[in-house]
Amino acid sequence: MSTIVSGLMQAGVLVEGEAQPPADGIGKPGRPLSFAPEALLCGAVAVTRGRVETAVVDARGVPLARKQEPLPAGCSTIELEQRVLRAADDVLGDYRGRLTGVGLTVPALCDPEAGQVLVCTAVPGLVGSALPAALSRRFGAPVRLEQDVRAFAIGEKWFGQGRGRSDFAALQIDIGVGAGVMLPGQLLAGVRGYTTQLGHTCVDRDGDWCTCGLRGCWETVASTRWLRAESVRRGIPGGHETTPGRLAKRAAAGDSAAQELLDVYADNLALGMANLVQLLSLRVFILHGNVVQAGEPFRAELQRRVIARSMPALADGIEVLYSELDQDSGLLGAAAMVLAKHLGVSL
């Protein structure tokens, strides 16, 4: 271990902190280790509905350069590739030759090993694209492709509230709904490494049709799309543009219709989350997306409802948390993928 650490320190990857006396007073003082500033630079490219974000992130999780560009709806595959490559050039170009790798996250069902996007309703132009190979050629570095919400889970494990936890789920609750699950300490994957599609598990066989072509998916009652449609149906002002945050503000101001809808929304979310408790005995849920705007009262109520919907034997210790990575989740997740691969960390 000393030989490995010494080599990493000489390479400028690790730095030592001040000596710390042992807690029990026995033995030599220890020196905490941390990543050095600007060590193991990672390119991060996060493609999502309506935009592409790019950044250079170091091993501490600090973005050194970043930019966001619009991505018009309905882009063809060729136009999308050109726009993403230009956006990446603007940020990563100055670091060409210094990048450990590039992480690419997408809101899609992927085959990470083949570097292929298989299904993507949010950004259809991604299907059939050669972005991973194009980025690798452009920057002379390996590229890791992953579904965005699974990258969120990796980012939480490296930089967020997943640190020190072996089991948790990172949930994306927004226009779409998905999950990245760590269990136990490993990123849950399906056959051939395909990403899990929790948002498209059925919660109502006679429910609404989903964008994926199936009926009664959890996403049909847990997404912002559902929340807006239901706001309009109930006559809540501004329903077409509402978000969990806006609805929570109306409820706090005394709007009983907004409060009633928030309660239904919390129960819809709790339904899918409790299914994960029953299926995988999960205790910790880290939420991403615009649901985090709903505030502390909503988080507490959601946690209460998840506990109430879970078997008593499995309900002890259930926590529902808002991600502290906030708007950096996608970029930090992309960087964490690169670090894990480069350092040989199994996820």
What CATH code is carried by the domain that includes residue 273? 3.30.420.40
Residue 318 lies in a domain: yes
Of 95, 124, 151, which closes a domain? 151
Residues 47 and 9 in one domain: no
Binned at pLDDT 50, 70 and 90, residue 193 comes out as: low
pTM equals 0.86
Residue 156 lies in a domain: no
pLDDT over 70 at 27, yes or no: no
Residues 133 and 196 in one domain: no
Residues 105 and 172 in one domain: no
Residues 124 and 189 in one domain: no
CA distances from residue 257 to 177, 231, 247, 266 in whole angstroms, order as listed:
24, 9, 10, 14
Of 122, 151, 180, which closes a domain? 151
Average pLDDT (164-192) is: 86
Residues 199 and 300 in one domain: yes
The pLDDT value recorded for residue 105 is 93
Residue 83 lies in a domain: yes
Residues 144 and 230 in one domain: no
Residues 31 and 78 in one domain: no
CA–CA distance, 37 with 292 (Å, rounded to integer): 30
Binned at pLDDT 50, 70 and 90, residue 277 comes out as: very high
The pLDDT value recorded for residue 231 is 94
The pLDDT value recorded for residue 285 is 97
Residue 344 lies in a domain: no
pLDDT over 80 at 17, yes or no: no
Q: Which residue has the higher pLDDT, 57 or 39?
A: 57
The pLDDT value recorded for residue 106 is 92
Average pLDDT (98-124) is: 88
In the chain, % of residues over pLDDT 90 = 60
Residue 230 lies in a domain: yes
Query: Which amino acid makes up residue 277?
Result: V
Does the CA dihedral 220-222-224-229 come out positive or negative? positive
pLDDT over 80 at 293, yes or no: yes
Residue 97 lies in a domain: yes
Q: Which residue has the higher pLDDT, 34 or 221?
A: 221
Residues 102 and 177 in one domain: no
CA–CA distance, 295 with 244 (Å, rounded to integer): 9
Q: Which residue has the higher pLDDT, 124 or 320?
A: 320
Residues 225 and 141 in one domain: no
CA–CA distance, 300 with 313 (Å, rounded to integer): 21
pLDDT over 90 at 110, yes or no: no
Average pLDDT (57-73) is: 91
Residues 208 and 286 in one domain: yes
The pLDDT value recorded for residue 194 is 62
The pLDDT value recorded for residue 74 is 84
Residues 145 and 257 in one domain: no
Residue 346 lies in a domain: no
Average pLDDT (279-292) is: 93
Reported as half-sphere exposure (CB side, CA atoms, 13 A), residue 317 has a value of 8
The pLDDT value recorded for residue 36 is 72
Overall number of domains in the chain: 3
Query: Are the CB atoms for 36 and 14 separated by under 8 Å?
Result: yes
Residues 129 and 214 in one domain: no
Average pLDDT (116-135) is: 89
In the chain, % of residues over pLDDT 70 = 90
Binned at pLDDT 50, 70 and 90, residue 224 comes out as: very high
Average pLDDT (69-89) is: 92
pLDDT over 80 at 263, yes or no: yes
Binned at pLDDT 50, 70 and 90, residue 195 comes out as: low
Residues 6+ apart with CB under 8 A from 316: none
CA distances from residue 276 to 205, 266, 280, 285 in whole angstroms, order as listed:
18, 16, 6, 10
Residue 347 lies in a domain: no
Domain that holds residue 29: 2-35
Q: Mean of the per-residue pLDDT values for the chain?
A: 88
Average pLDDT (58-65) is: 91
